[in-house]
Amino acid sequence: MEEKQFSGILNGAVPGEPVKKDENSRRGNWGNQIEFVLTSVGYAVGLGNVWRFPYLCYRNGGGAFMFPYFIMLVFCGIPLFFLELSFGQFTSLGCLGVWKVSPMFKGVGYGMMVVSTYIGIYYNVVICIAFYYFFMSMTNLLPWTYCNNPWNTPDCAGVVGTPRANATFANVSAVVSGVTEIVNRTKRTSPSEEYWRNYVLNVSDGIGDFGEVRLPILGCLAVSWVVVFLCLIRGVKSSGKVVYFTATFPYVVLTILFIRGITLEGAVSGIKYYLTPQWEKILDAKVWGDAASQIFYSLGCAWGGLITMASYNKFHNNCFRDSIIISVTNCGTSVYAGFVIFSILGFMANHLGVDVSEVADHGPGLAFVAYPEALTLLPISPLWSLLFFFMLILLGLGTQFCLLETLVTAVVDEIGTDWIIKNKTYVTLGVAVIGFLLGVPLTTRAGIYWLLLMDNYAASFSLVVISCIMCICIMYVYGHKKYFKDVEMMLGFPPPVFFRICWRFVFLIQFFPPESGFSISLNQIFFLFSYKPITYNDYVYPSWSLVIGFFMALSSVICIPIYALFKIAVSEGSTFLERLKNSVKPDPTWGPALQEHRKGRYATTGPESVEVCPLKEDLKNEGTAMWSSSLGDVRLTALLFTGSL
C-alpha cells in the first residue's frame, strides 16, 4: 500500500487523489485542449493587434508592409512559437524550471520573468483606463462629444457642432461651419483629446513631475487587478473556463464594428489608405524592424508565457498544430482589426474633409482619442463606445491572465513544495497585490509618460537576444539531435525540416550576421528601432528618462550573463573549464514530468525511477535510498550532451 502511494506521488498525484492516465494531477492540466488554444489566442491577440498593427501597416507602406510582416511570421514567429510550446510541454515546467536542460542558462528564464513583470505592470494600467472609458460610456451623451466642458480650452473644436436645447434642421449649418473652421485650422484640438489629456489623465508638464494620483484611474486599476485575480484564483482550471468568453467575444465585437464601419460613407477610402502598397518602402530597414517588432511583441515570444501555458498541456498534445493555428489566428486578427479601425477613420476623414493620415493615430492615441471621437459621429454613440471599450478590456485581460500566470507558475515551480502547490492561490494574490502597488505610479499625472517609456523599451531588442540565446542553448549546447528526438518522443513525429533549419540557423544568423554589405541582422534592426527617441505629442523625453528606458531593456538581458557566472562559480570542478562543463550539463531530473513518459534515454528500471516533481517532506528520507542508487546512472545519461558542444 505504501509502495503504491509512493508510486502515485512520483507520477504527479496529490495524496488521496486517484492517479489519472497522462494527467499531471499534482501540478494540473488544462481541462481540454480547446482551453489551451483559446488561452494562447487570448495571450497572443492583445491591444497591439488593434492599436498598433493598423498604424504600422499604413505608416510603413500599406499593403507593402504585409510582405515583410508575413516573412517575419514564417521565418521567425511560427518557428519560435513552436519551439517555446514544445519546450514547455516536454517538461511540464514554467519559464524557470525548463532550464534544467542546461542550468547555466537559467538566467534566460529570469529575463523572461523581468519582461513579463514590466509588461504586466503597464498593461493592466491600460486595461484600467479602458475600464474607466467603459464606465463613462454608460450615459446618453458621451462626455467627449462637445467642447462645452470645464476641462476644454478655447482651442477645442468638435466634429458634431455645438449642443443646442431644441435641435432642428437649422443646426446643420452650424455643423458645416464648425467643420469648415476645423479644416481651416493648422492644428485641431478635439474634445476627445482634451477629455483624455486634461480630464482623464490631467497630464503634467513632464515625466519628472508626478503630481497627485488620479483617484478614478487608481480605483479602476484595483478593479482590473481584482478581475484578473478572480479569474486566476484556481490557476488554469479557472482561467481555462473564462477564456471561452474573453477570447471569443472580441471577435464578435470586431465583426459588429466592421459591419457598421463598412456601411459608412468614406469607409472605402479609409480601407484603401490602409492597404494601398508603397513598394519603395520595402527597402527601408526600419520597415523590417517594425515588422519584426510587431511579430515578437504580438505573438508574445520570449515573454515566458508560451512556455508556461504549454507546460499545462498533456505530454502527447500536438503543439505543432497548435502553434500554426494560434500564430495564423493572431496575425489574421491584426489584419482584420485594420479593416475595422480604418473603415471608421475613413468615415471620420470624409466627414471632416481631410486626409485619413490626419485622423489616424496609434497606441493610446488611437484607442482613447481618435477612435472614440469617430464614435461620436455614429447614431447611438454610447452603444458603440461600450462595445469598443469592452472589446479592449477583453483583449487586454486575455494577455494579462497569461502574464500573471507566468510569474506565479515560475515561483511555484521554483519552490516546488507540496504546500506551495496546494496554496497557489496565495502566490497569485501576492503577485497581484505587488503588481497593483507597482502600477500606482502610472496612475499619477506623469503616468502616461512612464507607460509609453515602458511600452517602448521594456520589451524591445531584449526579446530578440533572449530568443536567440534560447535557440543557442537548445540547439547547440543541449544538442539539436537530442531535442529533435525529444519532440519526436512527445509528438510521435520529428519537427519538420523547415523548423529544424530555422531553429538551428536562422536565429543564429540573426544574432551573428555574416559580414556583408547586404545583410542586416534582426538584432541590429531592433537596436535601430529602439534607439529612436520617443515623444508624446509635442513633449520630447529628456535624456535621463531615455537612459532609464535602456536600463529597463537591458535589465532582462543582463540576467543571462549574471546567472551564468553565478552558476559556473558554484558548480563542481577544479578548473574553470570543468565548472563550465558541469554548469551546462542537463539536470538529472530533466525530461518528461510523469514516469509513464520517461522512455528511451530517460527510462530507468524498477523502483529506482527518477521523477522531476519534488517529493513530500515526510517521504524524503524514504526516497533517499532510491535517489542514491539511480543518480549515478542518470548522471551518465546526462553526460551524453557533450557530443553536441
C-alpha–C-alpha distance, residues 522 and 583, integer Å? 29
In degrees, rounded to 5, the angle at the alpha carbon of residue 306 between the alpha carbons of residues 242 and 108 is 140
Q: CA-to-CA distance for 484 and 341, rounded, in angstroms?
A: 42
> Which residue carries 535624456 as its cell?
543
Residue 213 β-bridge partners: 444
Residue that has been written with the C-alpha cell 498544430 in this structure: 321
Q: Distance between CA atoms of 265 and 357, rounded to whole angstroms?
A: 17
The SS3 of residue 365 is helix
Q: How far is CA 552 from CA 33, 109, 119, 561, in A?
A: 36, 16, 11, 16
Binding-site members are: 42, 44-45, 49, 298, 330, 395
Please state, in angstroms and rounded to a whole number, the distance separating the CA atoms of residues 70 and 299. 13
How far apart CA 272 and CA 275 sit, in angstroms, is 5
Asked if 238 and 474 touch (Cβ cutoff 8 Å), the reply is no
Nearest to residue 390, comparing CAs of 50, 27, 5? Answer: 50
| Cα dihedral: 104, 110, 115, 120 (round 10) | 160
Task: Return binding residues for Na(+).
Answer: 42, 44-45, 49, 298, 330, 395
Element (H, E) at 220: helix 215-231
Q: Which of 108, 110, 85 has the alpha carbon at shortest distance from 477?
A: 108
Residue 291 CA to residue 56 CA, distance in Å, equals: 8
Spatial contact of 396 and 46, defined as CB atoms under 8 Å apart: yes
If residue 429 lies in a helix (H) or strand (E), which one and from where to where?
Answer: helix 424-439
Residue 583 identity: S
Residue whose C-alpha is closest to residue 602's, from 615, 589, 614, 585: 589
**Residue closest to 467 by CA, chosen among 298, 301, 645, 291:** 301
Q: Of the candidates 583, 609, 585, 584, which has an alpha carbon nearest to the alpha carbon of residue 596?
A: 609
